[in-house]
């Protein structure tokens, strides 16, 4: 089939218009590249760092003698880097909280242990695994989101942990819409609220309204506390590190490797060009494959766009790499894991893939493989 100009690609970085909430300016530049230019030319990072110092000082006084900032930590480079900076550059006493994902990857578990051995204090939350599987299977089939339960808990369980430990200062990593393209609402905001979390990070899914088929006990970690639970409690202040300091993934990797015990793989992760990112769960590979089939771009293209913006790759290099590697289907060994996790047979599993593949962007070739109709350009 002849490739068609179906997708509109950013003139600078190659990100297509199909990314949710993506915007393009009149020059054909996506919101992420536009923001990157503004970060380099207009944002006063010194002023923002001074803001962070003041926030830290306020919480040092509030939580004197105990943990004063909570850092969501997956075992990867960003959480490790942020914790290092908060502790060693800002004098904070951070508590790291890991929400355990399904189908944990061994290197991710080892990196958490390495991190703890470096002197960082840490707790791990394991949600109800049976409920997690049920939510994920429903959302895999009905919403085309393979690991939604974990994504929900990264918002809701962290919110609850902030209240349980009485650490209202929460520091997440990057604000995804600002950094990678999407809504501009939070570009210049150090914090976000629950509604933002639902709309931007949970695909509009409000767990308190839409998980009513489970009991409150079953969904404790998958829902936000209600107003009665919040009575006389200090509500979390949800921050993004990317507001205070320019967010460069590779720089975080170097710091995390040197100071926090981060190990990378010997080879790149399937579906990726990197060997140091997304090492927490095997299920993320299915998530990125679905992203590719739904929107026409996957993890590889996303990583390439980041490298273009930091000056480590040209757009032509990104095109060549993405044409070759983007949208890699998970291997048979991973498919077997997914079938066991969802309690599905291969035919039913493939039916779900077929259901969510974007027929405007892909067609099935003679070998039954979903193949792009579009050409990267």
324-337 per-residue burial string, b: 16 or more CB within 10 A, e: under 16? ebbbbbbeeebbeb
Q: Which of 290, 307, 284 is nearest to 355 (CA)?
A: 290
Q: How far apart are CA 137 and CA 174, in angstroms?
A: 28
pTM: 0.95
Angle between the N-to-C axes of helices 31-41 and 299-309, in degrees from 0 to 180, rounded to the nearest 10? 30
DSSP-assigned letter for residue 16: B
DSSP for 73-86 reads: --SSHHHHHHHHII
- Report the chain's terminal Cα–Cα distance, integer Å: 17
* Separation between Cα atoms, residue 166 and residue 66, nearest integer Å: 10
What's residue 227's pLDDT? 87
Measured over the CA atoms of residue 356, residue 359, residue 362 and residue 368, the dihedral's sign is: positive
Confidence at residue 3, expressed as pLDDT on a 0 to 100 scale: 63
Q: What 3-state class would DSSP assign to 344?
A: coil
User: For residues 73 and 173, what is the distance between their CA atoms, to the nearest angstrom?
Assistant: 9
**How would you label 348-365 residue by residue, b for 16+ Cβ within 10 Å and e otherwise?**
ebeebbeeebbeebbeee
Quick: pLDDT tens for 366-376.
Answer: 999 999 999 99
Which pLDDT belongs to residue 277?
82
Residues of the chain with pLDDT under 70: 1-3
Q: Which residues pair with 372 in a beta bridge?
A: 362
DSSP state, residue 98: E
Phi then psi dihedrals of residue 366, to 5 deg: -65, -20
Identify each DSSP E strand in 209-368 by its residue range.
237-240, 362-364
Phi and psi, residue 12, nearest 5° = -100, -45
Q: Which helix (H) or strand (E) holds 57?
A: helix 45-62
> What pLDDT is attached to residue 1?
55
Which tens digits make up the pLDDT trace of 58-80?
999 999 999 999 999 999 999 99
Residue 2's pLDDT is what?
A: 54
């Amino acid at each position: 089939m002849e490739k068609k100009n179906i997708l509109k690609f950013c003139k600078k970085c190659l990100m297509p218009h199909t990314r949710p909430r993506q915007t393009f300016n009149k020059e054909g530049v996506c919101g992420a590249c536009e923001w990157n230019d503004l970060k380099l030319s207009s944002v006063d990072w010194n002023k923002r760092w001074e803001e962070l110092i003041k926030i830290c000082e306020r919480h040092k006084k509030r939580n004197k003698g105990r943990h004063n900032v909570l850092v969501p930590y997956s075992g990867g480079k960003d959480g490790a880097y942020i914790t290092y900076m908060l502790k060693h550059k800002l004098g904070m006493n951070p508590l790291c909280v890991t929400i355990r994902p399904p189908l944990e990857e061994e290197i991710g578990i080892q990196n958490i242990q390495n991190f703890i051995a470096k002197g960082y204090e840490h707790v791990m939350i394991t949600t109800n695994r049976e409920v997690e599987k049920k939510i994920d299977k429903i959302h895999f089939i009905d919403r085309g989101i393979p690991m939604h339960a974990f994504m929900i808990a990264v918002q809701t369980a962290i919110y609850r942990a902030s209240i349980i430990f009485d650490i209202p200062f929460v520091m997440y990593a990057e604000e995804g819409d600002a950094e990678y393209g999407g809504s501009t609402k939070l570009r210049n905001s150090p914090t976000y609220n629950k509604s933002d979390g639902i709309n931007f990070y949970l695909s509009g899914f409000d767990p308190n309204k839409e998980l009513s088929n489970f009991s409150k006990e079953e969904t404790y970690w998958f829902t936000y506390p209600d107003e009665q639970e919040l009575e006389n409690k200090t509500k979390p202040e949800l921050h993004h590190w990317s507001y205070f300091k320019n967010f460069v993934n590779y720089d975080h990797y170097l710091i995390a490797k040197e100071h926090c015990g981060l190990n990378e793989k010997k080879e790149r992760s399937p579906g990726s060009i990197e060997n140091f990112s997304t090492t927490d769960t095997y299920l993320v590979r299915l998530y990125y494959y679905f992203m590719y089939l739904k929107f026409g771009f996957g993890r590889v293209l996303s990583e390439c766009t980041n490298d273009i913006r930091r000056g480590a790759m040209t757009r032509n290099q990104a095109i060549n790499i993405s044409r070759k590697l983007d949208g890699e289907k998970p291997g048979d060994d991973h498919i077997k894991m997914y079938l066991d996790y969802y309690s599905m047979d291969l035919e039913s599993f493939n039916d779900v893939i077929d259901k969510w593949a974007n027929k405007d962007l892909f067609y099935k070739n003679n070998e039954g493989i979903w193949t792009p109709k579009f050409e990267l350009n």
